[in-house]
A and B are shown apart, each in its own frame.
Chain A
Amino acid sequence: MSELKGIYALWYREFKVFQRERSRVISSIINPLLWFFIIGGGLGTFVSFGAVGFQTFIFPGILIQIALFSAIFFGVYIVWDKKIDFMKEVLVAPMRRTSIFVGKILGGSTDTIIQTIFLIVIGVGLSFAGILQIHFTVLSILVTVAFLFVTTVGLCAIGLIIGSQMESPEGFQLIISFLIFPLFFLSGALFPITDQSGWLSAFILVNPVTYAVDGMRGVLIGGPTVRFSPWLDFLVITIFSAIMVAIGTYAFKKMKL
């Protein structure tokens, strides 16, 4: 019981901060839209995969892009918390470090999921207007959000693991940019992975984000660009997140002050 209240407290704090930092909300919505309309629109006039237009094709990829950037970047706030003494205030509270970690993860995931839902709403609107060819149903939306949530938890954990070991926000940003871009570009977010072979294929297959994109694409679009069954995708991404949470719990226990 006591742990739950503490977890709630940490979630509440992250959520309030997210609500009040307008720049964070606005930029996290504008960025994906830029990708969607400029990259999607620009390339879309020349490129299409299977039966659907390019913008439709990359829609799951843009959802994942939000998750990647927002969730991993969330780890920077723990670096800031350590810089001021807020982190100590939390650490001297009579609650377990694991609970602190869980509270942080839930806070970061909530922020991220809210942003993706915003894009899903836009996607639904564009599908109604006939611009996108996405099968939005209650079920497909729920499954998509489930995929996003599980993926986000794992990605938040990565951000927090790195953040818990770093002392400067600048260092944190440097490290995650080396991480985010390969994870994004090698995930099949922007091109189909069904025809890839050779060395690139190996990287794509070990990238957990690939399975999140593939799973959502399977649910939302279908067709020949989908490689695995959504069940397999979901299993892989769940295992990935579970491992990340386990490592994160350990990292928090070992976190030095």
Chain B
Amino acid sequence: MAAIIDIKDLTKTYEDRTVVDHLNLQIAEGEIFGLLGPNGAGKTTTLLMLTTLKPPTSGTALINGFDIKKQPDKVRKSIGIVFQEPSTDEILTGYENLKLHGWLYDMPDDLLKERLTDVLALVNLTDRKDDRVKKYSGGMRRRLELARGLMHHPKVLFLDEPTLGLDPQSRESLWQYIEKLAQEKNMTIILTTHYMDEADRLCDRLAIMDNGKIVILDTPKQLKANLGGDIVRLKAQHLDQELLKSLPYVKKISPCDGELCLTVENASSHLQEILSIVGKVDSVEVRIPTLDDVFLHYTGKAFKESDSQENWASGTMTAEANE
């Protein structure tokens, strides 16, 4: 498949700090691609550069064949964005917000009406279209923003934390919409997310960024397999880490939340042995790895802690000055 996004040496520096460091990345058409990383990893800035809202210091990227530096207008026509912060006008109705979007994208009236009807039906907001957005719930508002991002049939859709603050039911339905889009319209979707279950569920491939670079890039399945085993979590008064390290099937030992996490090859058959070496333990837990473990492994930071402040949408207003 041809790459619809081709990032070449994309770099952003602020005075003394390099926020995005010679990023190279190709994303195929129709792919759902996840961008994860701890706070300050540079994914914010990357998204802003890709959406032409911030100029790169050096390097560039092609989106749908258009250069983000030289043809920003054509890039903008090729992309749709759902921002993290609310970006609909709550004094206007849902319908008016969408109409406004159509006008901003210079859509002919007939097409505008047709697409409006389409996207409203897609996100199940047809019967609420004439209510002011102020009266919408968080989930409805999010769906409206998703509908709006789709109206001009972008080739690439950027979703920044699409389900942040939504209840489980809304999240599930939004995920279904996103999957449907990628499948039916062959739309390429780039998303950032806080939720590892979301990344696992939706993304064909994902990249973990740290310090402006991509640390690892693979399918969620492969990323988990790469860890090389299961996770054994131990809580005990005295733990002899050196002795544990000497065991051939223990791949990795790392502290987690005051306890000890071991990555163990084929944990179920070695658990007895580990426990006998460790001695008395307060608790023990064995599980197959999740993306949270992958994240911890590659960034050294637990996902929830590191990323809770991450907010590229609102942070960007001051980003230029602060970063």
User: Does B122 reach chain A (CB closer than 8 Å)?
Assistant: no
A6 in complex: contacting residue of B51, B83, B106, B313, CB < 8 Å? B106
Q: CB-nearest residue of chain A relative to B76?
A: A94
User: Does A85 reach chain B (CB closer than 8 Å)?
Assistant: yes
Nearest CB in chain B: distance from A164 CB, A: 12
Contact B79 A257 (CB under 8 A): no
User: Does B309 reach chain A (CB closer than 8 Å)?
Assistant: no
User: Does A21 reach chain B (CB closer than 8 Å)?
Assistant: yes
Known contacts A17-B89, A88-B313, A256-B321: A94-B81 contact under CB 8 Å:
no
In the complex, A2 Cα to B81 Cα: how many Å? 20
Contact B313 A85 (CB under 8 A): yes
Nearest CB in chain A: distance from B146 CB, A: 13
Contact A5 B103 (CB under 8 A): yes
In the bound complex, residues from chain A placing their C-beta under 8 Å from that of B286 are: none
Q: CB-nearest residue of chain B relative to A14?
A: B89
B104 in complex: contacting residue of A9, A20, A257, CB < 8 Å? A9
Q: What 0/1 readout, one digit per residue, does chain B (307-323) give for beta carbons within 8 Å of chain A? A: 00000011011111100
Known contacts A9-B100, A257-B320: A86-B76 contact under CB 8 Å:
no
User: Does A135 reach chain B (CB closer than 8 Å)?
Assistant: no
Q: What 0/1 readout, one digit per residue, does chain A (150-172) give for beta carbons within 8 Å of chain B? A: 00000000000000000100000
Contact A86 B87 (CB under 8 A): yes
User: Does B84 reach chain A (CB closer than 8 Å)?
Assistant: yes
B89 in complex: contacting residue of A5, A13, A95, CB < 8 Å? A13
In the bound complex, residues from chain B placing their C-beta under 8 Å from that of A2 are: 106
Among B51, B81, B106, the most chain A Cβ lie within 10 Å of the Cβ of: B106
Contact B92 A13 (CB under 8 A): yes
In the bound complex, residues from chain B placing their C-beta under 8 Å from that of A89 are: 81, 83, 87-88, 101, 104, 148
Contact A88 B81 (CB under 8 A): yes
Known contacts A9-B103, A13-B100: A92-B76 contact under CB 8 Å:
yes
- B residues touching A (Cβ–Cβ < 8 Å)? 48, 51-54, 73-74, 76-77, 79, 81, 83-89, 91-92, 96, 100-101, 103-106, 132, 148, 313-314, 316-321
Between-chain CB contacts (< 8 Å), 22 pairs = A1-B106, A5-B103, A9-B104, A12-B103, A17-B92, A85-B84, A85-B86, A85-B87, A85-B313, A86-B89, A88-B87, A88-B313, A88-B316, A90-B104, A91-B53, A92-B81, A93-B101, A95-B106, A167-B317, A167-B318, A257-B48, A257-B53
